[in-house]
Amino acid sequence: MTLNNLGNACARQRKFGEALGLLRESLAIRQEVGDRRGEGVTLDSIAEALQGAGDTAAARRSWRDALAIFDALGDAKAASVRARLAALAD
């Protein structure tokens, strides 16, 4: 969670390269320990950083992966991710 929060902080400062490095490290750890919800949260954060960096296609892929996890878990966060994906289509 700490790496995810640090990545988000870097993204807010528009340090997207650093943000993505931290977020990807967070994702690897969450996958390793089997934290599915945390994996979805980090994929959502990665997508936001990618979108901020201008890589809409990669952001879309990350949001789709996050949505699949949240849907499988029946997590309410699926709705916000679904809305972000819909906004990309506009």
The string over 55-76, giving b where at least 16 C-beta atoms fall within 10 Å of a residue's C-beta and e elsewhere, is: beebbbebbebbbebbeeeebe
Other Cβ atoms less than 10 A from the Cβ of 19: the count is 25
| pLDDT for the residue numbered 90 | 65
Report the distance separating Cα 80 and Cα 90, nearest Å: 16
- pLDDT tens track of the chain, all 90 residues? 999 999 999 999 999 999 999 999 999 999 999 999 999 999 999 999 999 999 999 999 999 999 999 999 999 999 999 999 999 876
CATH architecture group of domain 2-89: Alpha Horseshoe (1.25)
pTM for the whole thing?
A: 0.95
